[in-house]
Amino acid sequence: MGRKEEEYEYALQNKNIPLLTLDNKWHMLFGTAETTLTIKRLEEQLNNLLKRQGKLNTESKDIRRLKKKLMDEIVPTVDELGKRYDASLEKKLDDNKRLINDCNEKLAGYKDELLELPKEIEQVNYKLMIATMDACYEKLKENTAEIDEIGEWITKIRVELKKKIIRKQEKEQQNQDLYHYMHAIFGADVIDIFDMKYNPEERAAKIAAEKERRIRRANGDVE
């Protein structure tokens, strides 16, 4: 037994483990944690044991019901034979006794199996729990590694984003300075001649207006 399994056993000590395949939370768990071949095999094994247990319990009740009916028929049949001989009644009595013996044999066999099944069910259920914990542990490790990787990526992106924002602001300020300098030196007419269409202030106003329109649309405001 590996160290992980020993840790699982220690964690499960004195814990009331539900029958996993009957537990909706267990089924929901594998919407987030991938199942394994071991889990599928144990799940099928546990379900088969539970079905067998249910079948034996149902058949035992039916047999006991039949046995009672047969026994209830014996007394009046014996009484009737005491009054008069009837071959058909004697045959019926023999058949009932034979069927009652069959019922007793089946009930005895079912009883032994029903005594063993809870132990088998518990053992398989326990193995399924261990396999489940192992699958969850592996998924947690996988998720943690990916979380760390994404976290590092986000940190790098944030640093890069801050650099880009500063660079953008520097370029915007540089454009404003250049535009105002050229406007002051050459005048508006000369700038128009050279088709200087870039106006930082107008561009900033357009960007702000477009941003405001997007916010209003997102909020459902009609323009």
Going 22 to 26 to 28 to 34, the CA torsion angle's sign is negative
Render each residue's pLDDT in the chain as its tens digit; 223 residues.
456 666 666 666 667 788 999 998 888 887 666 678 899 999 999 999 999 999 999 999 999 999 998 888 887 777 676 677 777 777 877 888 889 999 999 999 999 899 999 999 999 998 998 888 888 888 889 999 999 999 999 999 999 999 999 998 898 888 888 877 877 887 766 666 555 455 556 666 777 777 778 777 777 765 5
Indicate yes or no: pTM above 0.95. no
Instruction: Please name which of 11, 109, 105, 169 lies closest in space to residue 3, comparing C-alpha atoms.
Output: 11
Strands (E), 9-100: none
Cα–Cα distance measured from residue 106 to residue 70, given in angstroms and rounded to the nearest whole number: 15
**Residue 34 — φ and ψ, nearest 5°?**
-70, 140
Q: Residue 56 class from Cβ within 10 Å (0-12 exposed, 13-18 middle, 19+ buried)? A: middle
**Which pair of tokens denotes residue 163?**
């650099």
Q: List the chain domain ranges.
A: 3-155, 162-218
Residues 89 and 96 sit within 8 Å (Cβ to Cβ): no
What pLDDT does 152 receive? 94
Cα–Cα distance measured from residue 200 to residue 181, given in angstroms and rounded to the nearest whole number: 12
What pLDDT does 168 receive? 87
For the chain, the first-to-last Cα distance in angstroms comes to: 70
